[in-house]
Structure 1
Amino acid sequence: MLHLTDIQLQDNKTFLAMLNHVLNVDGFYFSTTYDLTHTLQRLSNTSPEFQEMSLLERADQRFVWNGHLLRELSAQPEVHRFALPVLHGFITMHSCSINGKYFDWILISRRSCFRAGVRYYVRGIDSEGHAANFVETEQIVHYNGSKASFVQTRGSIPVFWSQRPNLKYKPLPQISKVANHMDGFQRHFDSQVIIYGKQVIINL
């Protein structure tokens, strides 16, 4: 550090503080061997060529929270093994037993980095059809050499609306009067059907 100027030292402290802040936030995960950004269902339907790709190359960009940092490295295959996608969400793994049958139960929730934000401040969809605070949750059961995967998704109601906080307990939703709701709605569900197939929609 002796070669740094006072300004550079201060900048270094600022950047370190930013890094420490992010690293202390719960819910960030990465793996050096397993593709956390894809469900087991998607991985089981991929080609051998896809399986040979690096984790960086094949990652689902919806769930890569350090994507902007990895962008320049994507053109350098020699460093791909060091450039790992970071997932934001929740992961837990448990060994379970039911009626004497032992199995592994895994839960992975993947939070989309598109249109993420604090409740009330980010609602609805954007022009690309990305729903606010979209989460893909996968349950995996590993039993006797076999694996099963069940996937659910959730997100904000896929139309253009907002709900700005005020002094009221439940601020009234504001639906846009100028946006093309059907276009955004169609974009959202076209993407859902392509990625997940047939949809069962529940309003909670």
Structure 2
Amino acid sequence: MRAALETPGIYFSYGYDLTHTMQRLHSVASDFHKMSLASRADARFLWNGHLLKDFAHQQFERFALPVIQGFVAINNVTVNGHQLMWSLVSRRCVDRAGTRFFMRGADAQGNVANFVETEQIIERGGEKSSFVQTRGSIPLFWSQYPDLKYKPAMVLSAEDHVAAYTRHMRDQIQRRALVCLMPTGSDYFIGLCTCFDSGNER
């Protein structure tokens, strides 16, 4: 228990839903906010989801708190004489989580390795704004297992890249994450980028 509680990057809140962005919470029906934090949590970022299954009954809801893995910072700042509350929340996805090199690419459902959703929240005078960015591995079937080389070779699998890519991008678009950043200026990713571009054109 102590080892779990002392794991860095683990966060929970008694009253705020850390698994959802402010944008999502603003767009849902009023009944959604009446649900307990555990029952309405976004499963993508719920790191104690398996444990919470034992507390699914209504009488245990107040003991069930969603836990995210990532980063949370809340600061009072002054910009041009204006007092602001600046918050940063990064949520790491439970799907395809792993260390660099050992976990790359996407799965058949379009989940990409080490997917992180980062939200910046600005509050001033009762008004709030939310800016959300996402990042993740290139949504193709590829691997890059470490060896003695400084830059291990990347290997593309002979699978349906377009299907995985399409599922990933459709999910991003549905969640209004429309910006896709690709590495440039290096021959290192040319092979992956070429395959990625061919899927993008389709």
Whether TM exceeds 0.5 here: the answer is yes
Structure 2, gaps ≥5 residues long:
184-202
Please name the residue that 2:50 is paired with: 68
The percentage of counterpart residues that share the same residue type is 49
Farther-moved stretch of structure 1 (64-73 vs 37-46): 64-73
Question: Shift of residue 71 of structure 1?
Answer: 1.7
> 1:198 offset after TM fit, Å?
5.5
Pick from 153, 170, 178 the counterpart of residue 199 of structure 1. 178
The residue aligned with 1:152 is 133
Per-residue CA distance 1:90-121 (angstroms, 9 max, x = gap): 00011010111010000000000111000000
Q: Tell me the CA shift for residue 20 of structure 1.
A: 2.2
2:35 paired with 1:56: no
TM-score (norm 1): 0.87
Shift in Å at residue 73 of structure 1?
2.0
Corresponding residue for 1:110? 91
**Secondary structure of the residue that 2:38 maps to in structure 1?**
helix
TM-score of the aligned structures, taking structure 2 as reference length: 0.88
- State the distance in 1 between where 2:16 and 2:69 align: 15
Residue 60 of structure 1 and its aligned partner are, at CA, apart by 0.3
The count of residues paired between Structure 1 and Structure 2 equals 183
Indicate whether 1:133 and 2:95 are aligned: no
Amino acid at match of 2:78: S
1:2-25, Cα deviation, whole Å (9 max, x unpaired): xxxxxxxxxxxxxxxxx2222221
Task: Give the root-mean-square deviation of aligned CA atoms.
Answer: 0.9
Alignment match, 2:196? none
**Aligned residue number for residue 176 of structure 1:** 157
Equivalent position amino acid for 1:30 in 2: F
In structure 2, what is the Cα distance between the partners aligned to 1:80 and 1:198?
Answer: 32
Q: Which amino acid aligns with 2:2?
A: N
- Structure 1 distance, partners of 2:177, 2:25, is 18
Q: Deviations over 1:61-106 (max 9, x none)?
A: 00000011112322x0110111111000000011010111010000
Amino acid at match of 2:174: I
Larger Rg: 1
Asked whether 1:163 is paired with 2:144, we answer: yes
Q: Distance in 2 between matches of 1:35 and 1:69?
A: 18
Distance 1:39 1:65, change over 3 A: same
In the other structure, the counterpart of 1:7 is none
Q: What does residue range 24-63 of structure 1 map to in structure 2 within 5 Å?
A: 24-63=6-45
Aligned to 1:58, the other structure's residue is in SS state coil
Q: Is the Cα contact below 8 Å between 2:133 and 2:177 reproduced in 1? A: no
